[in-house]
């Protein structure tokens, strides 16, 4: 039987036509598709400014720089995320620290954050920026986090890489609780540009800094030049920027995918509900649903039961993979990675995150997952959970 991946892009004939049209046009980069994509994304997310870049890692990096993250500053994030959520602060020479997660939502815990902020205030070690992650597509506790940001004076970069199209208290994610909201358009995310990322913000000043940073720190805007220009060729490099632009091919694909966002989201939501129902009698925990927010359903992560008579996660994972089911694990806690251990973090530092990680299994979920294939995933999981642990070598020798 055909293997089922854990995720996969959904590409329509319209998507293909949009990219082909760019290939036949005059501009492969720095043309009209990028501003059209940015304007459409901003409108769909009820936000004033959208700045698209080459990927979400670059978006996080530039958002950190634009918000003043640098040597001598601190950035806090969740240990249950992709490493990019923490690495962006290291690119800027800042110190990284983590806030443990909430076992129910799997997002950064507001209670842990409050405690940590009280301690940090006493020690004069408050963060410049907090990066809450909308894990699996479920928005973080943005209202509570906004309240703490206003009280303690840190900025919020929401990592919504999983959460394009998610809603929080009636509005789309990115519409203004955070100072900057970062989206990813990697192939497995909610909408894709192949590789791609975007920063949404209500601040014109921040958007201008981000636009300069993504293109060498150069401006050609006659109104922004420091010296009256001698002619139309004049540009000024006013700061040190990078080349982290998105191409016209990517922007055209993004624009076409954005038009499909409601349908792609609805399909993920339908499949997630179907998992909820199909798994209801199994001894595992399904993802949380909260009344004031809707997940974008990037990932469907179950918490496996622990201890005898249940097989461990490694065994369930191996058996599912052997059956051609592309299960996965999201994520190895960032602070336990060798790079972060070398900075002084240790296993045991964030016990809720580590307990979550020990039992987590990501089931396949993507818009084009067929119901039959989803049934196969659940059937394979039932078989795997009925499996007794393999006898250990010692037991085999004694017998
Ligand atoms: C995918 C992802 C990123 C990085 O996105 P890229 O576009 O691949 O650079 C960052 N944070 C999280 C939580 C992600 O899942």
DSSP codes joined into one string, 13-56: HHHHHHHHHHHTSS-SSSSSHHHHHHHHHHHHTT-SEEEEES-H
Q: Is the CB of 107 under 6 A from ligand 1?
A: no
pLDDT of 394: 43
Residue with tokens 């208290």: 169
pLDDT of 388: 42
**Centre of ligand 1 from the C-alpha of residue 298, in Å:** 12
Could you list the pLDDT tens digit for every one of the 399 residues in the chain?
Answer: 899 999 999 999 999 999 999 999 999 999 999 999 999 999 999 999 999 999 999 999 999 999 999 999 999 999 999 999 999 999 999 999 999 999 999 999 999 999 999 999 999 999 999 999 999 999 999 999 999 999 999 999 999 999 999 999 999 999 989 999 999 999 999 999 999 999 999 999 999 999 999 999 999 988 899 999 999 999 999 999 999 999 999 999 999 999 999 999 999 999 999 999 999 999 999 999 999 999 999 999 999 998 888 889 999 999 999 999 999 999 999 999 999 999 999 999 999 999 999 999 999 999 999 999 999 999 999 999 985 444 544 444 443
Residue among 295, 313, 314, 317 nearest 364 (CA): 317
Give me the catalytic one of 49, 74, 189, 245: 189
**Which ligand 1 atom lies nearest to the CA of residue 59?**
9
Neighbour-count burial for 157-190, b at 16+ CB within 10 Å, e otherwise: bbbbbbbbbbbbeeebbbbbbbbbbbbbbbebbb
CA 260 to chain centre: 19
**Residue 322 CB contacts under 8 Å (≥ 6 apart), including other chains:** none
Q: Is the peptide bond before 226 cis (omega within 30 degrees of 0)?
A: no
Q: Is the CB of 133 under 6 A from ligand 1?
A: yes
| Catalytic site includes residue 2 | no
pLDDT of 350: 98
Q: Is the CB of 149 under 6 A from ligand 1?
A: no
**Which ligand 1 atom lies nearest to the CA of residue 298?**
15
**Centre of ligand 1 from the C-alpha of residue 78, in Å:** 13
Residue among 111, 84, 168 nearest 352 (CA): 111
Tell me the three state secondary structure of residue 261.
helix
pLDDT of 389: 42
Residue with CA nearest ligand 1 atom 6: 56
Of 9, 59, 82, the one to substitute when testing ligand 1's pocket (max ligand atoms within 8 A of C-beta) is 82
pLDDT of 1: 82
Of 6, 56, 133, the one to substitute when testing ligand 1's pocket (max ligand atoms within 8 A of C-beta) is 56
Residue with tokens 């020990």: 358
Asked if residues 85 and 112 have their Cβ atoms less than 8 Å apart, the reply is: no
Q: Is the CB of 161 under 6 A from ligand 1?
A: yes
Q: Is the CB of 186 under 6 A from ligand 1?
A: yes
Q: Is the CB of 298 under 6 A from ligand 1?
A: no
**Centre of ligand 1 from the C-alpha of residue 394, in Å:** 43
pLDDT of 134: 98
pTM above 0.85, yes or no: yes
Q: Is the CB of 56 under 6 A from ligand 1?
A: yes
pLDDT of 386: 85
Q: Is the CB of 81 under 6 A from ligand 1?
A: yes
**Centre of ligand 1 from the C-alpha of residue 211, in Å:** 20
Q: Is the peptide bond before 125 cis (omega within 30 degrees of 0)?
A: no
Report the alpha-carbon distance of residue 349 to residue 335 in Å, rounded: 8
pLDDT of 309: 85
**Centre of ligand 1 from the C-alpha of residue 56, in Å:** 5
């Amino acid at each position: 039987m055909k293997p089922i991946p854990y995720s996969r892009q959904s590409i329509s004939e319209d998507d293909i036509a949009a990219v082909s049209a760019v290939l036949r046009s005059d501009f492969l980069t720095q043309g009209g598709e990028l501003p059209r994509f940015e304007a459409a994304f901003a409108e769909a997310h009820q936000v004033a400014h959208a700045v698209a870049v080459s990927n979400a890692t670059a978006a996080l990096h530039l958002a950190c720089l634009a918000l003043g993250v640098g040597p001598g500053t601190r950035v806090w994030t969740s240990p249950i995320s992709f490493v990019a959520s923490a690495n962006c602060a290291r690119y800027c020479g800042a110190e990284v620290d983590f806030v443990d997660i909430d076992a129910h939502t799997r997002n950064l815990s507001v209670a842990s954050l409050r405690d940590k902020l009280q301690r940090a205030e006493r020690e004069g070690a408050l963060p410049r920026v907090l990066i809450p992650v909308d894990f699996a597509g479920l928005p973080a506790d943005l209202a509570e986090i906004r309240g703490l940001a206003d009280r303690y004076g840190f900025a919020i970069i929401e990592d919504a890489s999983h959460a394009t199209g998610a809603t929080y208290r009636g509005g789309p994610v990115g519409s203004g609780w955070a100072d900057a909201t970062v989206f990813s358009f990697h192939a497995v995310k909610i909408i894709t540009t192949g590789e791609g990322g975007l920063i949404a913000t209500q601040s014109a000043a921040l958007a201008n800094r981000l636009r300069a940073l993504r293109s060498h720190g150069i401006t050609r805007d006659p109104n922004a030049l420091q010296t009256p220009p001698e002619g139309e060729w004049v540009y000024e490099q006013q700061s040190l920027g990078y080349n982290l632009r998105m191409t016209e091919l990517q922007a055209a694909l993004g624009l076409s995918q954005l038009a499909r966002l409601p349908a792609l989201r609805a399909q993920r939501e339908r499949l997630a509900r179907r998992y909820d129902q199909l798994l209801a009698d199994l001894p595992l925990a399904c993802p949380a649903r909260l009344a004031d927010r809707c997940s974008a359903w990037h990932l469907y992560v179950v918490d496996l039961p622990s201890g005898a008579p249940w097989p461990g996660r490694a065994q369930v994972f191996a058996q599912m993979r052997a059956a051609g089911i592309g299960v996965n694990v999201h994520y190895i806690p960032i602070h336990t990675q060798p790079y972060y251990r070398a900075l002084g973090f240790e296993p045991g530092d964030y016990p809720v995150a580590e307990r979550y990680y020990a039992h987590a299994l990501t089931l396949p979920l993507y818009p084009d997952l067929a119901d039959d294939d989803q049934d196969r995933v659940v059937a394979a999981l039932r078989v795997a959970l009925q499996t007794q642990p393999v006898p250990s070598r010692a037991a085999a020798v004694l017998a």
